[in-house]
Amino acid sequence: MIIVYHQNNKVVEVGFEGKNIPFSPKSVAFNLFEIAEIFPEQLIIWCRLDLKSNLNIAKVEEIFHHKKIAASYRLSAVPFLSKTIGYVDESLFLNVKKDIIYPTWQMSGDIGGMYAEVLNALKKHVKKDSNFDYFLHSLAKLAMTGALLCYSEPLLLQDTPKIRKSNAKNNFLTFRFVKQHYKTRWVFLLFLNLLIYEKKFPFLPFLLSFGFRKRKLNANSLDAIKVQSSRKVIDKNTIDVIIPTIGRKNYLYDVLKDLSKQTHLPENVIVIEQNPNLNTTSELDYISYESWPFTIKHTLTHQAGACNARNLALAEVTSEWVFLADDDIRIDKDFNFKILETINRTGSEAVSISCIQKEERPRFKTIFQWGNFGSGCSFLKREILKECKFNMGYEFGYGEDNDFGMQLRNQGIDVLYIPDPKIVHLKASMGGFRTKPVLQWQNETIQPKPSPTVMLYQLLHQTQEQRLGYKTTLFFKFYSKQTIKNPLKYFISFRKQWNKSVFWATKLKKQS
């Protein structure tokens, strides 16, 4: 392990195995790449000179448990880029939780590290900015799409010192960052949002941003780096499968057959059958009259709703791992084996798996930090689920899966996307016994826009800037799809619908 101490964007000391090694008077970024080339097998740590005694050396091996991890920690609660970046970026990587490990591209120069192999792979593709924080933000934003796992990690520090005051935020850097890392239209939207919501007119930062070129990185830049985590996340190798179902008898049968042919069999398959007709019994007769190589825990409930069904199933889980599945999927016989193999290699406790339709081509080909969560295509370690449940405020709406994913992340559990093996999602038509649910706002004269369950996610998990940025983009997207073409009348109508959505989302928040 090599430690690079720096101050005011300049390296002041480099330590390796108790000895000082020479360094360049150039930028911190330049030195990182030079050191990585000389010591290609080493983990390289950077640390502000005044934090030298706070570097938690004892936790470094635990934090960097495989070679595609980059972690850092910013002492200040104020981010390096202005919070106005939220007008542009709606992702969960923006609203960082400071007291836990949290996925983010917002890397800090205060204290952090990554392996030399990563730096060497990126050397020809990443610009060595003189501003160290900007350099790290840019590198992480680009490399996260190429499978570099980036985190805010408080364990890097011990005996956390007092937080020093942060400098005033700089609109020039924010506009520059947006121009270099997002589509050009977002520069205009950032300017518009600042004008609308903050009554600011940052014309010069807006104009100067066009002097910077967009930065790109080849998605396979890090493919040559092999990953083998030192973390032990698998012990018993046991799996329970959760399947909520309603009116899809034949599709569910095929899922159970696929599970019965697995080279690594599940211990239990927990089937929650929903039928709102109080006078009916189960239609899943094959559960009892056929022999299965696992225990099927079958519950018939007359309360419809996927959130409730999955919560009932979670209460029945006893195995080390849980596979959240849908009732209309198909999987190959080595699916479970391959997933556990990948989990062992990455040291992850939560993964969502590529779930595509029959004729669909996979969009992603590498493992990366996913901004979503799949409630019907995920493997989770049971012990991380103690504080999680599917929020009933989302029942019969949208967003319960992503909300569940945020519950995981808010307790320090990252969610990785696994491109292989794949799940084939048949997208079966809605099964029988279904009646259209009566939503609380269904009879409102002014219909909420967006859906209150979408707004609920916004209220629970996003910053104010992210909500307002979403409001602006929704305003433009919805304009072409509605009947009011007079811009002023449309604006008035949209504002009423937005406020109605906030009203109902707030009520859902209290009910959840």
Neighbours of 294 (CB within 10 A): 17
Is the omega angle on the peptide bond into residue 450 within 30 degrees of 0, that is, cis?
A: yes
Residue 280, pLDDT above cutoff 90: no
pLDDT at 281 over 70: yes
Across the range 402-423, mean pLDDT stands at: 97
pLDDT digits over 108-122, tens only? 999 999 999 999 999
- The domain segmentation of the chain, as residue ranges, is 2-156, 171-211, 239-425, 452-511
pLDDT of residue 485: 87
Residue 464 tokens read as 């104010």
Under CATH, domain 239-425 is a member of which superfamily? Answer: Spore Coat Polysaccharide Biosynthesis Protein SpsA; Chain A (3.90.550.10)
Q: How many CB atoms lie within 10 A of CB 18?
A: 5
Which whole number is the average pLDDT over 426-452?
83
| Residue 125 structure tokens | 């593709």
Residues 196-233: tens digit of each pLDDT: 999 999 999 999 999 999 999 988 899 999 999 999 99
Nearest to 180 by CA among 119, 136, 230, 138: 138
Q: Which of 51, 225, 47 is nearest to 146 (CA)?
A: 225
Q: Tell me the pLDDT tens digit for each residue of 306-343.
A: 999 999 999 999 999 999 999 999 999 999 999 999 99
- How many Cβ atoms sit within 10 Å of the Cβ of residue 335? 22
Q: What is the pTM of this model?
A: 0.94
**Which helix H or strand E contains 419, and what residues bound it?**
strand 416-425
Q: What is the pLDDT of residue 482?
A: 86
Residue 331 and residue 258 in contact, taking contact as beta carbons nearer than 8 Å: yes
Give the tokens for residue 44: 């390289």
In this predicted structure, the answer to whether residue 146 has a pLDDT above a threshold of 90 is: no
Q: What are phi and psi of 198, to 5 degrees?
A: -120, 0
User: What pLDDT, on a 0 to 100 scale, did the predictor assign at position 287?
Assistant: 97
Closest among 25, 150, 41 to 414, alpha carbons compared: 150
Angle between helices 452-461 and 487-511 (to 10 degrees): 70
CATH assignment, 2-156: 3.90.550
Name the pLDDT band for 167 (thresholds 50, 70, 90). Answer: low
227-248 confidence digits (pLDDT tens): 999 999 999 999 999 999 999 9
Write down the residue that tokens 């700089």 correspond to: 170
Position 495: which residue type?
R
Domains 2-156 and 239-425 share a fold: yes
Give the span between the Cα atoms of 408 and 405, in whole angstroms: 5
Cis check: omega of the bond before 421, within 30 degrees of 0: yes
CB-CB contact of 43 with 136 (8 Å): no
Looking at the DSSP bridge assignments, the partners of residue 11 are 6
Q: Which of 81, 191, 85, 169 is nearest to 466 (CA)?
A: 85
CA distance 236 to 485: 61
Using 50, 70 and 90 to split pLDDT, how confident is the model at 84?
very high
Split at pLDDT 50, 70, 90, the class of 93 is: very high
Summarised one tens digit per residue, pLDDT across range 30-47 is: 999 999 999 999 999 999
> What confidence score (pLDDT) does residue 406 get?
98
Quote the tokens at residue 381: 């370690």
Least-confidence region, from 101-110, 239-248, 257-266, 426-435: 426-435
Q: Tell me how far apart the alpha carbons of residues 271 and 250 are, in angstroms, rounded to a whole number.
A: 14
- Rounded mean pLDDT, 480-505: 93
> What pLDDT does residue 435 have?
63
User: Which pLDDT score, from 0 to 100, does residue 433 have?
Assistant: 53
Secondary structure (DSSP) of 63-89: H--STTEEEEE-SSSS-SS-GGGGGT-
Q: d(Cα 90, Cα 186) in Å, to the nearest integer? A: 12
Quote the percentage of the chain above a pLDDT of 90: 86
Q: In angstroms, what CA-CA distances link 289 with 246, 250, 253?
A: 20, 15, 12
Asked whether residue 436 carries a pLDDT value surpassing 80, the answer given is no
Rounded Cα distance between 377 and 289, Å, is 28
Per-residue model confidence (pLDDT) at position 164:
64
Q: Write down the pLDDT at residue 358.
A: 86
In the structure, what pLDDT confidence band is assigned to residue 361 with cuts at 50, 70 and 90? confident
